[in-house]
C-alpha cells in the first residue's frame, strides 16, 4: 500500500493502520467481502493453537518466504497427535467454507485436516498423501456436507491441502491438523522426531480456497475497496454499528413477517460466499412486508440489496419519522411510497452488479423506531401498502443495515447481536528521508464522500498538530494550513467546486506555497515558513478524525513540481 522510489528501485513504506475490528470492502469481483477474509487468527503462529500430543518449532522456510513455517513433531504416545484452533471462529448454517493449510512431509507422509463444531459431531475430514500428492480418505459427520477435498503441489515438497463444505450448523467452529502415519490412520505410536512442516492456515467463506491472507489478531487491517475504482481505493470510515440483528437471515424470527414467506438461501447474494433469501407475497389482500426494530433507535440510514424475480418493486418505510421511498430494481428507478409514507430526505438506488441493486434511505427529521420493508404492488401507481398477492411471485433481498448517522457506510454483517465496526485511522512515520525538508509537493486523488469535512493531505512532524502542512475539505472550501511551532503561517479557506473524483496537489517552499486542484492553480501564497523535522504522512488529521475518506492515490515529491507538471498531475 505504500512505497518510495530511489533511482530505479522501489522500497516499501509500511502504512500504520488502526481499527480494532474487522470491516468489509467491495472486492475486485464486485462482491462484499470481510477484511481480512481469512477467518483464522494467528494463521502462522501455531503456538497460539492448542497442542495435543505434539510439539512445534518455529523458524523453518515456508513455500513463500524465510523462517515463517513450523515443524510439528509427534510425541511418543499411542494416540492422535494434532493441533486445534478453536473458540475464535463463528460459522453460519447453510454457508459454504473452505479450510486450507500448507504442509510438507518430514518423515511422516500424511496429514489429516478436520473442520468441525466443538463437539466433533458435525465435521468435514480429509487425509492427504504428502509423498504422492493424492487425496486419501474423506468423511463427514452427521448432516455436514463435504463438497470437495483437493491438494495442490506448491513445489519443493510443499502442498496446499484444502477441504470445502458446509457444517450445517451455526457454531463456534474448530480447525484441526492431525499428524498421520498412513491414510485413515491418525492414531499411531509417535517416536518424538517424526512430523510435518506446516504453514498458512486459512478458513474463508465460499467453496474455493482464496489466495492466502496472513493474520495475527485479524484487526488493524487496511481496506482496499474496488467500488467505483478497478484499481482499488483505500477506505477509511468512521465508527458505525449495524443496529439490525441477523442482517442477511430474513427467515429469523427477529424479522417480523406479514403476509410474506421467506425462503432461505435461494440465490447467491452480493456478499462473497453467502446466499440470499427470497421474499414471496402470499395470496391475500394485505400488507406484504418484513420489519425489524433497531436495537437502538436514532437518526440513521438504511441500506439493503434487492434483485428482481417475478417482483421488482419494494418500499422502505422509516417508522418514527414516517418517511420512505419506493424502489424498482428492474430499471433502478424510484417512486412515491403511495399509502405508506412521505418521501425521505435522501434516497437512492444503484446498480451493484450481478443483477443486484443497492438501495439507501435516510431522513434526519427524527429517530427511526422501526424499518418496514414492503413488497409493492406490481401495478404502477397502485397503493403500495395493501394489494393482492398471487402466492407465487417473489423477489430477492440481502444484507440489511440500519446505522445511526447522516449517511450509509460499508456493510457490517451481523447474526445474533449488533456489530460495531470501529474507526479507521492511518499514518506513516519515519519518512524524514522521503519528505523534502526545505521544499516539496504532496498529491492526493480522492473520491468525494458524504462528510463535509475531511483531510485531503497532510505532512507533519511526529504526528504533531502544531508543526504541519495540511489541506482539508470544509464544505465547499479547501482550507490550507501551515503551522510552525504552533504559530500559524497560513490558514486560508478557498472556494472550490468538488467533483466526484478530485486531484489536489500542494507545493511548499519558504515564502512560496501553491494549491493546484483538478488541473488549475487554486491559490498561491508568497509568505510563510516551513515546519522542521517533517517525517509523517497523515491520512486523518487528529482534529478531523472519525471522517469518511476514499483515497485513490497519494504521492510525495521532495521538490516543487513545475506549474506544467502540477497542472498535468491534477487534471481529471
Is the bond preceding 36 in cis, omega lying within 30 degrees of 0? yes
Grid cell digits, residue 225: 475497496
Q: Looking at residue 547, what is its pLDDT?
A: 82
Q: Looking at residue 130, what is its pLDDT?
A: 97
Does residue 277 contact residue 265 with C-beta atoms inside 8 Å? yes
What three-state secondary structure class fits 282?
coil
Q: What is the pLDDT of residues 481-531, one digit of tens each?
A: 999 998 999 999 999 999 999 999 999 999 999 999 999 999 999 999 999
Q: Looking at residue 50, what is its pLDDT?
A: 87
Residue 8: CB partners within 8 Å, gap ≥ 6? none
**Exposure string over 61-87, b if 16+ CB within 10 A, otherwise e:** ebbeeeebbbbbbbbeeeebbbbbbee
Cell 497442542 appears where?
51
Q: Which helix (H) or strand (E) holds 563?
A: helix 563-570
Q: Which helix (H) or strand (E) holds 187?
A: strand 187-189
Dist CA 410 CA 225 (whole Å) = 10
Dist CA 232 CA 153 (whole Å) = 31
What three-state secondary structure class fits 401?
strand
How many Cα atoms are found within 13 Å in the side-chain-facing hemisphere of 63?
A: 18
Q: Looking at residue 81, what is its pLDDT?
A: 76
Residue 50 CA to chain centroid, in angstroms?
29
Q: Looking at residue 527, what is its pLDDT?
A: 96
Does residue 302 contact residue 361 with C-beta atoms inside 8 Å? yes
Dist CA 553 CA 565 (whole Å) = 17
Dist CA 449 CA 501 (whole Å) = 10
Q: Looking at residue 84, what is its pLDDT?
A: 84
Q: Looking at residue 3, what is its pLDDT?
A: 56
pLDDT beneath 50, residues of the chain: none
Amino acid at each position: 500500500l505504500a512505497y518510495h522510489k530511489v533511482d530505479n528501485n522501489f522500497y516499501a513504506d509500511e502504512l500504520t493502520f488502526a481499527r480494532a475490528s474487522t470491516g468489509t470492502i467491495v472486492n475486485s469481483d464486485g462482491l462484499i467481502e470481510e477484511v481480512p477474509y481469512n477467518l483464522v487468527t494467528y494463521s502462522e503462529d501455531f503456538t497460539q493453537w492448542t497442542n495435543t500430543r505434539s510439539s512445534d518449532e518455529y523458524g523453518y522456510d515456508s513455500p513463500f518466504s524465510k523462517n515463517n513455517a513450523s515443524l510439528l513433531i509427534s510425541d511418543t504416545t499411542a494416540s492422535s497427535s494434532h493441533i486445534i484452533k478453536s473458540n475464535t471462529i463463528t460459522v453460519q448454517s447453510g454457508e459454504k467454507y473452505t479450510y486450507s493449510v500448507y504442509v510438507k512431509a518430514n518423515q511422516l507422509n500424511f496429514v489429516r485436516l478436520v473442520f468441525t463444531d466443538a463437539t466433533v459431531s458435525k465435521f468435514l475430514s480429509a487425509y492427504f498423501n504428502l509423498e504422492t500428492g493424492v487425496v486419501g480418505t474423506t468423511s463427514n459427520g452427521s448432516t455436514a456436507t463435504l463438497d470437495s477435498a483437493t491438494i495442490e503441489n506448491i513445489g519443493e515438497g510443499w502442498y496446499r491441502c484444502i477441504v470445502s463444505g458446509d457444517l450445517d450448523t451455526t457454531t463456534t467452529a474448530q480447525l484441526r491438523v492431525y499428524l498421520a502415519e498412513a491414510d485413515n490412520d491418525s492414531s499411531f505410536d509417535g517416536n518424538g522426531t517424526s512430523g510435518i512442516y506446516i504453514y498458512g492456515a486459512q478458513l474463508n467463506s465460499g467453496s474455493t480456497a482464496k489466495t492466502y491472507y496472513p493474520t495475527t489478531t485479524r484487526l488493524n487491517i487496511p481496506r482496499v475497496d474496488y467500488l467505483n475504482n478497478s484499481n482499488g481505493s483505500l477506505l477509511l470510515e468512521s465508527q458505525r454499528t449495524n443496529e439490525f440483528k441477523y442482517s442477511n437471515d430474513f427467515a429469523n424470527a427477529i424479522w417480523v413477517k406479514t403476509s410474506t414467506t421467506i425462503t432461505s438461501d435461494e440465490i447467491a447474494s452480493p456478499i462473497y460466499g453467502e446466499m440470499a433469501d427470497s421474499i414471496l407475497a402470499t395470496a391475500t389482500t394485505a400488507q406484504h412486508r418484513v420489519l425489524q426494530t433497531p436495537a437502538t433507535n436514532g437518526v440513521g440510514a438504511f441500506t439493503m440489496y434487492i434483485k428482481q424475480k417475478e417482483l421488482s418493486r419494494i418500499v422502505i418505510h422509516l417508522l418514527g419519522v414516517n418517511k420512505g421511498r419506493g424502489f424498482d430494481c428492474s430499471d433502478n428507478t424510484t417512486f412515491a411510497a403511495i399509502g405508506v409514507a412521505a418521501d425521505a430526505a435522501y434516497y437512492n438506488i444503484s446498480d451493484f452488479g450481478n443483477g443486484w441493486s443497492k438501495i439507501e434511505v435516510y431522513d434526519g427529521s427524527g429517530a427511526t423506531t422501526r424499518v418496514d420493508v414492503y413488497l409493492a404492488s406490481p401495478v404502477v401507481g397502485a397503493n403500495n401498502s395493501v394489494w393482492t398477492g398471487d402466492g407465487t411471485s417473489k423477489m430477492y433481498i440481502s444484507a440489511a443495515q440500519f446505522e445511526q448517522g447522516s449517511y450509509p457506510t460499508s456493510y457490517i454483517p451481523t447474526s445474533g447481536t449488533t456489530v460495531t465496526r470501529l474507526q479507521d485511522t492511518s499514518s506513516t512515520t519515519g519518512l524524514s528521508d522521503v519528505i523534502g525538508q526545505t521544499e516539496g509537493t504532496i498529491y492526493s486523488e480522492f473520491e468525494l464522500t458524504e462528510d463535509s469535512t475531511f483531510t485531503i493531505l497532510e505532512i507533519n512532524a511526529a504526528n504533531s498538530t502544531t508543526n504541519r502542512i495540511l489541506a482539508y475539505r470544509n464544505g465547499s472550501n479547501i482550507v490550507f494550513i501551515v503551522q510552525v511551532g504552533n504559530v500559524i503561517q497560513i490558514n486560508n479557506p478557498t472556494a472550490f467546486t468538488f467533483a466526484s473524483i478530485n486531484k489536489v496537489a500542494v507545493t511548499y517552499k519558504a515564502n512560496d506555497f501553491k494549491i493546484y486542484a483538478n488541473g488549475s492553480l487554486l491559490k498561491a501564497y508568497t509568505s510563510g515558513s516551513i515546519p522542521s523535522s517533517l517525517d509523517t504522512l497523515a491520512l486523518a488529521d487528529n482534529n478531523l478524525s472519525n471522517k469518511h475518506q476514499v483515497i485513490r492515490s497519494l504521492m510525495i515529491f521532495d521538490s516543487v513540481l513545475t506549474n506544467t507538471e502540477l497542472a498535468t498531475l491534477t487534471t481529471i
